[in-house]
């Protein structure tokens, strides 16, 4: 009699899977550990300290870059979410109409073209616009971020709209609510979780962006990721570990939040 086959117990697969989890977390744990190292050398452990967190928090270039990141992300995220909500309303809950596929393709385009290509394209065009207009402020970065944030904000909003019940809106319309009233009092409150998820996605994606920002930014417009990119090419100080640890903590917080929000629904 052969050994009984079990779907759950594929020893080879389990081993590879556990190996993968170790593989995924070992480098991140190393990164965090070095952030708490008291010494500057990364090969010697000299005891636990918050020295590098203090150093990073006092570094003016880091503060400057952080503030810039925190200026761009909410603005780009907000504009992208409003535009994406409107676009989602225009592209769902309808029979296919001429131009619908075109709209899908257009909105998802930033996801399909390699980031480096969009980055050089924006570099070429914006550098010319800078010459023509003489304006070299944050507007370019905000425009670029808004564009690639739209598809990310669009996805959860569209998903939410597609699963929403149409009858409530119809009922409101039957009770003589004007279209705007129906939207404000019925559609919008129902759509709210999708909009919130879309905004959070857009915010995080904007905050994380390196490549496009690196090419679009004017002199002195470092964001936190481009500042880190510049530092990491040289021998980085543990200040970078400290910043990364904070970033990592934020990602874990966001994912945990989503995790529990989606769980509560079930």
Instruction: Map the footprint of another protein across residues 29-58, applying CB under 8 A.
Output: 30-31, 34, 41-43
Binding segment (CB under 8 A) for another protein, from list 16-24, 58-66, 162-170, 188-196? 16-24
Rounded Cα distance, 93 and 100, in Å: 12
The answer to whether the beta carbons of residues 150 and 76 sit under 8 Å apart is: no
Of 38, 82, 159, 168, which lies in the binding site for another protein, with binding defined by CB under 8 A?
A: 82
Dump strand ranges (E) for the chain: none
CB 177, min distance to another protein, A = 17
Backbone angles phi, psi at 3, to 5 degrees: -60, 140
Supply angle C-alpha 72, 73, 74, rounded to 5: 100
CB 144, min distance to another protein, A = 5
Q: Does residue 183 bind another protein (CB under 8 A)?
A: no
Q: Does residue 161 bind another protein (CB under 8 A)?
A: no
Of 47, 98, 134, 220, which lies in the binding site for another protein, with binding defined by CB under 8 A?
A: 98
Supply angle C-alpha 132, 133, 134, rounded to 5: 100
Q: Does residue 181 bind another protein (CB under 8 A)?
A: no
Rounded Cα distance, 112 and 206, in Å: 17
Binding segment (CB under 8 A) for another protein, from list 5-13, 51-59, 63-71, 187-195? 5-13
């Amino acid at each position: 009699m052969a050994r009984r086959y079990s779907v759950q117990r594929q020893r080879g697969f389990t081993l590879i899977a556990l190996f993968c989890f170790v593989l995924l977390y070992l480098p991140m744990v190393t990164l965090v550990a070095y952030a708490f190292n008291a010494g500057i050398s990364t090969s010697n452990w000299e005891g636990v300290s918050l020295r590098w967190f203090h150093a990073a928090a006092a570094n003016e270039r880091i503060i400057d870059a952080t503030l810039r990141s925190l200026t761009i992300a909410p603005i780009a995220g907000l504009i992208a979410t409003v535009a994406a909500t409107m676009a989602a309303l225009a592209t769902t809950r309808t029979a296919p109409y001429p131009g619908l596929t075109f709209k899908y393709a257009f909105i998802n385009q930033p996801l399909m073209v390699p980031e480096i290509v969009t980055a050089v394209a924006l570099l070429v065009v914006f550098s010319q616009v800078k010459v023509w207009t003489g304006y070299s402020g944050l507007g370019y970065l905000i425009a670029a971020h808004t564009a690639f944030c739209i598809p990310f904000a669009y996805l959860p909003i569209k998903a939410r709209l597609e699963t929403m019940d149409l009858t409530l809106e119809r009922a409101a319309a039957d009770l003589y609510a004007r279209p705007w009233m129906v939207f404000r009092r019925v559609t919008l409150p129902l759509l709210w979780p999708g909009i919130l998820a879309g905004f959070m996605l857009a915010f995080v994606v904007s905050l994380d962006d390196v490549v496009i920002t690196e090419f679009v930014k004017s002199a002195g417009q470092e964001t936190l990721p481009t500042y880190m990119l510049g530092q990491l090419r040289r021998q980085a100080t543990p200040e970078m570990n400290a910043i990364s640890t904070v970033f990592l903590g934020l990602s874990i917080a966001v994912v945990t939040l989503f995790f529990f929000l989606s769980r509560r629904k079930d």
